[in-house]
Structure 1
Amino acid sequence: MPGLSDILPALHRRSSSIRERIRTISIGSSASKHQSISGPSAAPSHRPYSVYQQSSATFMAPPRIVAILDSDAVTQRLLETILDSPNGRRTLSRLARTCRAWFDPALNVLWRELDSLVPILGLFPAHLLKKSKRPGLGLTTPPLEKDWEKILRYGGRVLRITYDELSNNVHNSVFPIFEEYRPRTYVLPNLQHLTWRITSPENLDRAALFLAPSLQGLVLHLGGAGTRFPTLPAFLADIGSRRKLQSFSIYSSASLPDTFSDLLLPQDELERIAVVAPGALSPIVGKWVAYLPRLKSLQLDLSGRSRTAVEAFFREWRSGDSTPDSMESHTDSGIFSGEEVDFTEIRKSLLKLTGDAKKSLTFPALVQLHLTGQTSNIATFLTHLSSPLTQLEIVIEDPPDAADWRDLSALICERFGDSLTSLRIGATLSSKYSDLVRSTSRAAPAPSRLSLGYLSSLPILARFVVDLPESVIFTAADVAALAKAGPKLEEVRLCPLARFPPAAPPHLSLEDLAPLISGCQRLNTLAVVINAKGASKEGGVESAATSRSLMWLHVGHSWVTDTLQVAILLSQFAPYLDTIKWYTERNRPGFVEANARSWQKVSDILPHLQNLRLTERRAVMPEKEIVVEYVQVVAPRPPMSDKAIDATVLTTDRGVDATQLTSEMSVQATPQVKHRETQATASKTSIAIDAVPRTVETEVDATMELVALPALAKEAEELDSPRPGSQLNCGGAPSHLMSLPSLTSLFGFLCRIFIAFPLSIPMRVLHALLQLSRAREEGGEGGDVALDTIHVRP
């Protein structure tokens, strides 16, 4: 497959020709008004189909471009290179509009990393935004479900996003709308890294909107002097219970919670940790960090702390304890603690003397370390580490103490010289601020020297960067010592931002770089400030000081006078040099216009001298005869020495977490609800019932017929004499015969009136009352005894 350097020019020319041809196609006014695809609002479906039809029918993709599209890795690498170039986003947007095959890969690269929420808000329809050109101001009305289509379509492409409250480009009213009206739980479902910079405590909980299940890295910047975040423990507990992060960083001006390590204890898969906050050096945090099995990168702030506080970070470590049966783990049970002496430390000392102690590494997987603070504190911290670091970045107070810098340089070479590949030395914010104050005043900065002669052996070091505002003086001895210590250096930066006053020029000259160029054959990037006014007039240096790999040179505010001599030296040092960079900004402190014009002339002359130099070398090389002489030399006897090898088997206790991996998935199951009203008024009917019992009044004439009976004679006489108006018997019976039945009936009548009738009425009433009580017991309702039920015999 052709190289990337061959593909990029061909692709650029091909894309340019396609764009020029597309512009010549008559596609109407709609195509001429088509906007740039810097945002995702423009898609291929929005362009007229005649453009794609004409381009696909006329142009054929070259084989190299087809080979790129066949490999996802090559396509990704190519698009990333285009993105890093000047106007890279505009170029990618044009490339996405040029060909349908490039549309999805280009948009994935454009949208994979966002530095704000504004591009997401810009996907809402224009009529919902308060100002279409400033989407961060918020929405006028709540969005409907169809208004979220573009956000859901392009939200899956976002992998990294940053929210910065200090930039003030997103109004706080946006977050309630996302919480209430979002169509699904996570608008950015594939988000992998979230950076959350806030100063208000209420904005901390709003980060939960972006804690997608795919999240792997979280960076919290809790700013604001004196601002407390009361919901931070609950937020950390939520993260520890639901997510398995690979990187976690917290930068806070407030103290960490007392339960910080307990809240993050479930995060046992962390590979990168950065804790820059008060309380980060507590023994509990140190113990938690030490027992992370996959930790590869660590960043701590040691500024303003004593050496005792740095030592306390390692106080809770128990690297020697392995099993309960080992001698190192035997401690006093506590039962007789008042009577016996604890021999734990004595046992450990004896084990170290006899060589039976286990040799374990602190941070066994740690390869990257970033420390900030005084030089002495950094040296104290490094003395406790035995892991093979590959990348070390230290941020120190500038200028450092000479003795502390000497000890730190020796310690780095002694402990990490065989594994270190990158070493960066920077300045703290306080040092940079002091330098800024001096640069804005009339007083010239006073540069100091940072000696590189203390670096002894860094055999595999590939990148060495020094970026300090005051310690900017380097000499030829420093360059020679650096070339000797790091023969495999590929990138060297020695304070390229340094400024020198007119009375004190840079100490390094162009010829002083010869040991570095000749000793480091892999060197491809060099950034250093030099004094090229006194360039050699001899026209060159020895042929050994030539580098075929040096391609990029940054001279910053370097001094130069004789442009031709400088170009001749550079053509000798780096005949394949491709880029020379210097500062051309007139408003930059330390800018000298004469030096900028001279370096421009050097850049113009150098390519011609390089071609001449290479032509001469190609012409000389075939004529040169190579004579090889074979001389038999007796091999010297190798030096012999007796060495003892410790054959103690190193054992490591490691636990395996066999917990089943679970994944959380959220499903939006909102039911559809319809409102209906039903008239449920019951119909009523009024019925009147006459419940008045029917009564019958019956009058009984119970008047007794009284008969006065005088004496027997008179009675007999009356009986014999007929009554007036009475009837005689038909039979013509005598009247005295009728007196006896009359007496009998009279007597019976009297018996019924005075005896039977008074007894019959109470018995009837009693019978009615018994029926009434029996009806009430059976659940019925009783009533008054009807008078018509009482029969009175005449």
Structure 2
Amino acid sequence: MKSRMVRARKKELLPLFTFHIIAHDMLNTDLISLICEELEPGTSRASHHMLRTRDDINCRKGLLSLALTSKAFLEPALNVLWRQITSVEPLLSVLPDTMILNGKKMIVEQIAPSSWDRLHYYARKVREFEQQDPSNVHESVYAILGQSKPIFPNLVELRAGLQISTNSLIFFLTSSISNVSIPWLTRMPSNDLDLGPSLALLASKNPGLKFLSISSAAVSGISSSLRCFRNLRTLVLGRLPQYEPDYVQILASLDDLTSLTLTLPRDDILEYGSIQNGFPSLERLSIVGFTSNLRKFLKVVSPSILQDLSLEWVESPVLVADAFSVTNTLRRFPSLQKLKIERATSLFADDLDRSDYWALFTPLLQLNQLQSLTYSSPLILTDELTARIASSWPHIVSLYFNAVVWLEVPPVSSLAHFVRGCRNLRYLRYPIQVDVPTGTAPPEPTLFMHPLWFFHCSKNDDVSDPPSLALALHQLFPDLKSVTGDGDGWDEVEAILKSYHFILAQDRRFN
């Protein structure tokens, strides 16, 4: 409520502040630019029909009003208004001669020199272009606007829709571009549509690209094109219908690549054997695939650099031993700080030996630099095993265990191991026994203000005695205010915890 009042007050004061600056002849370019930049987030959202709110529209209108207020505000305001657009249609509004045919805007007459000058004046201000499909602009417009030079000569980020990605990409490519997505995720291309020529064109025009995202589509000659991007730092690759054998070898040779997201095929057709010292700069890896390729891929990644790993199976392995062959390779990465593992086994416990699930998990305990872990497979968790987990990760900040069914879970008192071993823990999802036996004394109070802020019980049980559970949690984590669970009764537990904080705050005031 208070934040809304502050924002409303800012909107009231902005015209007054502007008038005050003008009235006292204190115009300063940097100050005016800061005022306009403050309105940029809402102004950018206003161009997205599905995301914008009334406040965003008013924000854009307010910035336009500033542009019309004074010549001093004109350039800074227009720079923000035109920085990000989602269609070339606004450029057509400065042209006198356009028509609509079958719902698409077209240019039907020759553009006069004065109109070109005006169009280029605005086009030079565009830094981000994100095409929203379906477009209201006919494809012929791109060829006309880009006939002599790129449509947006100072463009930095290009998120091209399917229409541009397949036929009109050349009219947008300029040496200033560093980020490209083809096609942008508004619509997935069909598998029979080949984006290989578009990628090859991009490679020839912009070999210094820093960010590249390619959605799931057929891309012929992808290895040859990727080889050209020697300065690439971030690469996002969807699932491809066809893979070339040297696909991984080319990826591994990109020396500056620091972030990689990709999906590997089921078929074992990729070549790994000749890769040596692959991915020398890779810090973040998000990979989806099947056991064989996941295991082989992880074995060729440089072990001393990787810090952030997201690992997901396309289909959960039938045998825990198959999943273990992958998680066991994680011992190679002692520098890992963030780890997410999905679908290593089914989310539901089955009839396999209970110790297999713990064996699958054990290699992770050697990653003692972890700060964040998300793990979604069933486990047997006892007080003793909880102690092992807490002592293995002294730097952990976020710890999420997300399985649907648990083989065994520890009592709430086991959370004391996190108090002693994980002094930085702020977010915890962990299965516990929510029922506190009658007559059980609450845990000893924590002697310092542990920073745990959020706790979620990932075992689906209803809380029968919220006051006892709330007291136990409060004794362990004095700063804990937000608690949730998969069963009923957690709302009452959270309400009791908040009442403790209110009482303590009052005591501190009186003292």
Say whether the fold is shared (TM-score over 0.5).
Answer: yes
Task: Decide which of 190, 202, 214 is 1:239's aligned counterpart.
Answer: 202
Task: Decide which of 299, 302, 309 is 1:383's aligned counterpart.
Answer: 299
3-state SS, counterpart of residue 490 of structure 2: helix
State the alpha-carbon separation in 2 of the partners of residues 297 and 177 from structure 1: 36
State the alpha-carbon separation in 2 of the partners of residues 505 and 104 from structure 1: 64
State the alpha-carbon separation in 1 of the partners of residues 251 and 420 from structure 2: 43
Residues 291 and 406 of structure 1: CA distance in aligned 2, closer, same or farther (over 3 Å): closer
Residues 147 and 236 of structure 1: CA distance in aligned 2, closer, same or farther (over 3 Å): closer
- Whether the 8 Å CA contact 2:287–2:311 is kept in 1: the answer is yes
3-state SS, counterpart of residue 423 of structure 1: strand
Aligned residue for 2:48? none
Task: Decide which of 374, 381, 390 is 1:475's aligned counterpart.
Answer: 381
Q: For residue 76 of structure 1, report the CA deviation from its aligned partner.
A: 7.9
- Whether the 8 Å CA contact 1:95–1:106 is kept in 2: the answer is no
Aligned residue for 2:142? 178
State the alpha-carbon separation in 2 of the partners of residues 89 and 106 from structure 1: 20
Aligned residue for 1:763? none
Aligned residue for 1:455? 364
Aligned residue for 1:292? 254
State the alpha-carbon separation in 2 of the partners of residues 104 and 507 from structure 1: 63
State the alpha-carbon separation in 1 of the partners of residues 33 and 439 from structure 2: 53
- Whether the 8 Å CA contact 1:575–1:613 is kept in 2: the answer is no
Residues 262 and 397 of structure 1: CA distance in aligned 2, closer, same or farther (over 3 Å): closer
Residues 391 and 160 of structure 1: CA distance in aligned 2, closer, same or farther (over 3 Å): farther
- Residue type of the alignment partner of 2:497: L
Residue 17 (structure 1) aligned with residue 31 (structure 2): no
- Residue type of the alignment partner of 1:161: E
3-state SS, counterpart of residue 366 of structure 2: coil
State the alpha-carbon separation in 2 of the partners of residues 191 and 539 from structure 1: 65
Residues 427 and 406 of structure 1: CA distance in aligned 2, closer, same or farther (over 3 Å): closer
- Whether the 8 Å CA contact 2:272–2:296 is kept in 1: the answer is no
State the alpha-carbon separation in 1 of the partners of residues 151 and 4 from structure 2: 35
Q: For residue 416 of structure 1, report the CA deviation from its aligned partner.
A: 0.5
Paired positions, count:
471
Task: Decide which of 525, 549, 558 is 2:451's aligned counterpart.
Answer: 549
Aligned residue for 2:214? 250
- CA displacement 1:620-650 (0-9 Å, x = unmatched): 9xxxxxxxxxxxxxxxxxxxxxxxxxxxxxx
State the alpha-carbon separation in 1 of the partners of residues 438 and 81 from structure 2: 49
3-state SS, counterpart of residue 560 of structure 1: coil
Residue 394 (structure 1) aligned with residue 311 (structure 2): yes
Residue 493 (structure 1) aligned with residue 400 (structure 2): yes
- Whether the 8 Å CA contact 1:287–1:314 is kept in 2: the answer is no
State the alpha-carbon separation in 2 of the partners of residues 491 and 550 from structure 1: 10
State the alpha-carbon separation in 2 of the partners of residues 566 and 241 from structure 1: 64
Aligned residue for 2:128? 159
Query: In the TM superposition, what are the counterparts of 1:679-694 in structure 2 within 5 Å?
Result: none
TM-score for both structures, normalised by structure 2:
0.71
State the alpha-carbon separation in 2 of the partners of residues 538 and 211 from structure 1: 70
Aligned residue for 2:104? 138
CA RMSD of aligned residues (A): 5.1
Q: For residue 268 of structure 1, report the CA deviation from its aligned partner.
A: 1.6
- CA displacement 1:109-159 (0-9 Å, x = unmatched): 898667xx36x646765999999xxxx953377697769969964883543
State the alpha-carbon separation in 2 of the partners of residues 547 and 264 from structure 1: 51
State the alpha-carbon separation in 1 of the partners of residues 79 and 454 from structure 2: 30
3-state SS, counterpart of residue 489 of structure 1: coil
Q: For residue 561 of structure 1, report the CA deviation from its aligned partner.
A: 3.5
% identical equivalent positions = 20
Q: For residue 269 of structure 1, report the CA deviation from its aligned partner.
A: 1.2
Query: In the TM superposition, what are the counterparts of 1:462-541 in structure 2 within 5 Å?
Result: 462-466=371-375, 468=376, 471-472=377-378, 475-476=381-382, 479-495=386-402, 507=409, 510-528=412-430, 532-534=434-436, 538=440, 540-541=442-443
Q: For residue 409 of structure 1, report the CA deviation from its aligned partner.
A: 2.8
- Whether the 8 Å CA contact 1:530–1:559 is kept in 2: the answer is no
Residue 206 (structure 1) aligned with residue 168 (structure 2): yes
- Whether the 8 Å CA contact 1:475–1:508 is kept in 2: the answer is yes
State the alpha-carbon separation in 1 of the partners of residues 53 and 282 from structure 2: 36
Q: For residue 377 of structure 1, report the CA deviation from its aligned partner.
A: 3.1
Q: For residue 206 of structure 1, report the CA deviation from its aligned partner.
A: 2.0
- Residue type of the alignment partner of 2:209: L
State the alpha-carbon separation in 1 of the partners of residues 81 and 457 from structure 2: 33
3-state SS, counterpart of residue 204 of structure 1: helix
Aligned residue for 2:479? 576
State the alpha-carbon separation in 2 of the partners of residues 579 and 111 from structure 1: 42
Aligned residue for 1:303? 265
Task: Tell which structure's C-alpha radius of gyration is larger.
Answer: 1
State the alpha-carbon separation in 1 of the partners of residues 89 and 290 from structure 2: 44
3-state SS, counterpart of residue 532 of structure 1: coil
3-state SS, counterpart of residue 169 of structure 2: helix
Aligned residue for 1:404? 322
- Whether the 8 Å CA contact 1:375–1:397 is kept in 2: the answer is no
Q: For residue 572 of structure 1, report the CA deviation from its aligned partner.
A: 2.9
3-state SS, counterpart of residue 218 of structure 1: strand
TM-score for both structures, normalised by structure 1:
0.49
- CA displacement 1:644-698 (0-9 Å, x = unmatched): xxxxxxxxxxxxxxxxxxxxxxxxxxxxxxxxxxxxxxxxxxxxxxxxxxxxxxx
Residues 149 and 250 of structure 1: CA distance in aligned 2, closer, same or farther (over 3 Å): same
Q: For residue 182 of structure 1, report the CA deviation from its aligned partner.
A: 6.5
Residue 369 (structure 1) aligned with residue 285 (structure 2): yes
State the alpha-carbon separation in 1 of the partners of residues 456 and 448 from structure 2: 18
State the alpha-carbon separation in 2 of the partners of residues 130 and 602 from structure 1: 64
- Whether the 8 Å CA contact 1:252–1:277 is kept in 2: the answer is yes
Residues 53 and 246 of structure 1: CA distance in aligned 2, closer, same or farther (over 3 Å): closer
Q: For residue 102 of structure 1, report the CA deviation from its aligned partner.
A: 11
